[in-house]
Structures are given as structure tokens and as C-alpha cells.
Amino acid sequence: MIKPVYWAAPKMDFGDNSMTSTQPDKQIDARGQQCPMPLLMAKRGLRELEPGMVLELLATDPSSARDLQSLQRLGGHKVETEVSETGIYRHTITKA
């Protein structure tokens, strides 16, 4: 079983128009994980949050953007995705 890795958010350049200026309530590092692990790690992380709280998930798997859009569609959560120049996807999920 793979456990999510929680970390102190490293400084990363996501451009000047980063989506969130506040700290998320929970952060999960899914970099290096392939589909479906980023989605499963996000679902596990959301279980611990109250509605309105924010989860930040970092991933390197391009299909994570598609997977998390389905999480938005089916679960009603708000999902925003940014991609850094180095290919890291930052998904900001607000729990419904």
C-alpha cells in the first residue's frame, strides 16, 4: 500500500497568476505516481477535510488533470489546475 506523502510546500514557479494566495488546509505530493494514484490520494485526503476546506495536490502525471475533472463533475468539488514550466501539475481542490 502506498501512503500519501505530506510535505512543507516547496517554492515553485507557477507564473505570476497563481490561483491561490492562501495556504491550503492539506497538501499531498503525488509526484512520480501514475494513474490512478493521484486521484486516489486526493480522494483519501478529501475525506479528512470539512466542506469548504482546500486540498493541494502536486502531480507529474498529465492524466491527473483529466481524472480530477471527473472528481469535480461527480463529487461537486471545485478543482483548479495549473502546470509549471517543469511539468508539475498543481491541483487546488475545494471540498464540496
Residues in CB range of 53: below 8 A, 6 or more apart: 25, 26, 94, 95
Closest among 34, 31, 49, 15 to 78, alpha carbons compared: 49
Write down the catalytic residue from 5, 35, 37, 88: 35
- Catalytic residue check, 81: no
Backbone CA torsion sign across 23, 27, 33, 35:
negative
Give the residue numbers marked as catalytic: 35
